[in-house]
Structure formats: structure tokens, C-alpha cells
Amino acid sequence: MKSLLRALVLVFVATSCFAQDTARLDEIVQTKTMVGVPQHKEITVPVSTLSKYTGTFQMGPNVDLSITLEGDHLMGQMSGQPKFPIFAETETLFFFKVVEATLEFQTDGSGAVTGVRLRQGPINQLLPRK
């Protein structure tokens, strides 16, 4: 993994005409961080809160996002896709580790979950609860 990441960084540096700073390159490889890629901090959210987020959210015709609770963590699955774990950054904001995407659960005045906002690349879409 380290050699692959180093190779990707080297290609990026070479093709972008950035000054080659080997100390910075080694720092990036050691910490496995890339410039411009958001770094998320995972927190623990009570299972009682997580259970409120389970359900089906509609992205479009015949395309749903299913959120399930497995043990003490949430899983997200788009129609026709595999199921992946999602991780809490705040009590309402979650992120995937397999792809750069976030889910932010929306609630009404009484605290009932009404939808989830999906942000991934150019997508910024509110998915209503079904």
C-alpha cells in the first residue's frame, strides 16, 4: 500500500509540475493523507440514536438508499450495490470510508428523521424518507 501511495503521489507531483519536496512527499506517504482529500474524525454515537436513522430513503425512481443497523454501527446500501459501513463524524453527519461521500440526516421539529442529504462529488441531494 505504501509503495502504491508513494507512486501515485509521485505521478501527481510530476504531472502537476509541483516542486519536488521529498520531505513533504515522505510525510504524505507516512500519514496516508492527500492534499485536498477531506479527513474525517470518527466518533461514537449511541445505538439509540443510530436506530432512528434506519429506513429507506428515495434517491430517484427505482433508486433507494437503505440504512440498516448492524450491531453498533450503521450500514448504507444503494439499490443494486453492496452494503458498506458508514461512520459518524457528528451525531447527524456520517461518512463512508470506501468512497468520498457523506450522509447528513435531517430531522423535523420533533426530532423525527425526515430525510438524508447525500454529498458525493457534484451530487448534493436530499433523499426523503419513504
Helix residue spans in 32-84 (DSSP H): 47-50
Q: What is the pLDDT of residues 28-54, one digit of tens each?
A: 445 444 455 568 999 999 999 999 999
Task: Decide: 79 and 63 in contact? Cβ < 8 Å.
Answer: yes
Q: State residue 13's pLDDT score.
A: 37
By the 10 Å C-beta count (0-12 exposed, 13-18 middle, 19+ buried), 36 is classed as exposed
Q: b/e map of 8-21 (b: 16 or more CB within 10 Å)?
A: ebeeebeeeeeeee
Residues 6+ apart with CB under 8 A from 64: 56, 57, 58, 78, 79, 130
Q: State residue 26's pLDDT score.
A: 53
Q: What is the pLDDT of residues 63-108, one digit of tens each?
A: 999 999 999 999 999 999 999 999 999 999 999 999 999 999 999 9
Q: How would residue 4 be classed by pLDDT, with cut points 50, 70 and 90? A: very low
- The C-alpha cell at 127 is 433523499
Q: State residue 22's pLDDT score.
A: 53
